[in-house]
Amino acid sequence: MIDGHTRTCGLIGNPVEHTMSPLIHNTLAGLLSHNLVYVPFHVEEGKVQQAVEGAYALNVLGVNVTVPYKSQVMESLVEMDELAQKIGAVNTLVRCNGGFKGYNTDMPGLYRALVSEGIELEDQEVILLGAGGAARAVAFLCAVHQVKKVYMLNRSADKAKLVAEEVNSKSGRECIYPMALEDYQALPDQKFLAIQATSVGLYPNIEDVIIQDRSFYEKIHTGYDLIYKPRDTSFMKLVRQSGGKAYHGLKMLLYQGIIAYELWNEVSVPEKMAMQVYERLEREIYNEK
């Protein structure tokens, strides 16, 4: 029940209307008997600073940040977590003295998701498809977790080159190799973990796939698609048809939320509870009522 002690958390972005975050956080609050409510805040362009200051003035406990403000919001923070600073994107604000501190929980969220599926990064050779905001975070994750080599393939080869240079320089490891997407046939003849971090194939364009050529999928032992809607993307289907294992990105969404919730409330969410939230997400997203 909402009363005089209820704490507020929320999401700022534009748009925010399709977010699953209220389901994650309000379910956690219910399961943990926390007097906390999580709401979406649609913030217009140019109003991010005001939104952050307003949230602090209103004693808001924590804020998530989504598209298009993950970089822009950094100007409005009083402190930055080192990892978020390196990634250059913030998706979680934690209340601190005089304002908010910025974190990135997308990257550790993906790591927890990979671990929970039994996928290891250490010493792997990885194909990373994309060079946008999500791919950039994945590239950092790979660099931090001692991936041997990451072939970053992107439609705009220039962008892949810039991101690779930045990640290599900030991580102090020369492990990201940029490539043009169309040059995929030049990849070494071996098996890879492939992480699909482009927006190609996202609902409702579910027939689209980043690379059509079936021979490409023979090089993949495990495919992880950051997209979680549809449940089986065309990329995942092609990986499976070539004998590989394939996963969607719903656990990444789950764990980025759980890590934010843990930061705000200084708790550790047990795995069994995480799975209860996951089941609710699945029911909601895939209409398994």
Q: Which residues are marked as active site?
A: 70
Instruction: Identify which of 263, 226, 284, 265 has the alpha carbon closest to the alpha carbon of residue 91.
Output: 263
Identify whether the C-beta of residue 106 lies closer than 8 Å to the C-beta of residue 256.
yes
Give whichever of 79 and 282 is closer to ligand NAP, judged by the CB atom: 282
Measured distance CA(63)–CA(66) in Å, rounded:
10
Q: Does 162 bind ligand NAP (CB under 6 A)?
A: no
Site for ligand NAP in 254-283 (CB under 6 A): 256
Q: Does 200 bind ligand NAP (CB under 6 A)?
A: yes
**What is the distance between the alpha carbons of residues 206 and 233, in angstroms, rounded to a whole number?**
7
If binding is defined by CB under 6 A, does position 154 make contact with ligand NAP? Answer: yes
User: Per DSSP, what are the bridge partners of residue 128?
Assistant: 152, 195
Among 74, 80, 180, 202, binds ligand NAP (CB under 6 A): 202
* 231 touches ligand NAP by CB under 6 A: no
Name residues whose C-beta falls within 8 Å of residue 212's C-beta, 6 or more positions apart in sequence.
Answer: none
Given a contact cutoff of 8 angstroms between Cβ atoms, the answer to whether 77 and 90 are in contact is yes
Q: Note whether 30 and 42 are within 8 A (CB).
A: no
Q: Restricting to residues 82-121, which ones interact with ligand NAP according to CB under 6 A?
A: 106
* 253 in contact with ligand NAP (CB under 6 A): yes
Judged by CB under 6 A, which stretch of 30-38, 72-80, 153-161, 167-175 contacts ligand NAP? 153-161
Residue given tokens 């997209």 in the structure block: 227
The number of residues that bind ligand NAP (CB under 6 A) is 24
Residues that bind ligand NAP (CB under 6 A): 106, 130-135, 154-156, 159, 197-200, 202, 210, 226-228, 249, 252-253, 256
